[in-house]
Structure 1
């Protein structure tokens, strides 16, 4: 049995200039970019929902990265545009960092990813720390939208045999579904918008229905989606009897607010 201790560990902060090794269209709405470079040596991402800051600029533009001062990073003026992304994978032997980008909705990170090609440059900062969540909970409930797919896929890959995983995921359409790799006993519920932008209620409803069959005794709940939806989902899961101490909810984006990333609490 696990001690059920969710630990936070800190990492040395470093800003890295990397170059694109390859790009791949995983689905019509998800583009995979593999990065490499000597700056990756020593990179650490210990938690499935870690995030790095990326600093996207168009090819040919100059980027002035933050420097490290005694009280943390010192940003130049004007402050460079940055966005938070989950490291999908890191291969220390090959010195490769993989990031998955949701595309088709505009914004500097999306536009960079859509134009990315081998040789394109991307600067990355962090992660500054990781939350280490035990993998041996009997049940793992993972709820999110496309922005949560890298973290969900990563978590499923690290779960052991003998545990159960429930994923409830909102995507644009059936073409945006992913095939997951896991040793866990997996149930996946897909919620498809199919051109309807008002699917938040459908995601909440689907999550509540699916989670009703999950035992509350030994479960970890993880939520990442639009900030207000994440708050609604967290409240719903707590009201259903899931332990708020074994739960994390995050707003990976906020409607009408580009670049938002926040942890949702009480």
Structure 2
């Protein structure tokens, strides 16, 4: 079922001297790169649509963690690793493959590009590359990434239908999924991140009627610079905390920060007080 033999073929076909390349590719389905990408898109583009994808991502983390904990299937043995890595958690299905589908596919849905072949080709390429990177690194079997990608498609279709384009509903769903995920997983960091992120996103979206537009490239660049600095500081602080309730609070602040930065900037700068973006 997990295609162990086929996974060996994939791993052995990849030259070990290019390990750095595959390590870079795999980050496209991790936590940091999608987080930064979605934050920057939120600050510079259609904020309601990007907030929707952020809610998909947070809800998806909780959903997948609960499934992995329920199945409790191990990762490949340490001998399969391409390079020494510290990898926790269960192996089936692949979280990176799942996240690649939910995040990049979510952007395709939110920005109404499902009929654009260039978008579909780009997203397909990202999902394939991320999935193969997990097999090459030896942290997943081929069956794990296939299952993760298929599950990601199913989750995205269901979320798109249930949430109906409303970020508030998306973050409420994330909280509803994250609470049991924390219990099932014993409170692992990613489950706490999902719960905190859901709570922070829900609080932020309920607190404002809309998000102000970015009026110029210069102010947009400043917004990104300030936003990323704050994002890095909050993430560093959150990673340093070991008490679960405080971690949840820190992750709530993390997501709320992303959503509130444009509002704070608009209050400080009269030039940025333009009509709210409802797209």
Question: Do both share a fold (TM > 0.5)?
Answer: no
Name which structure has the greater RCO, CA cutoff 8 Å, separation 6+.
2
What TM-score comes out, normalization by structure 1 length? 0.24
Q: Which has the higher strand share?
A: 1
What TM-score comes out, normalization by structure 2 length? 0.23
Q: Which has the higher helix share?
A: 2
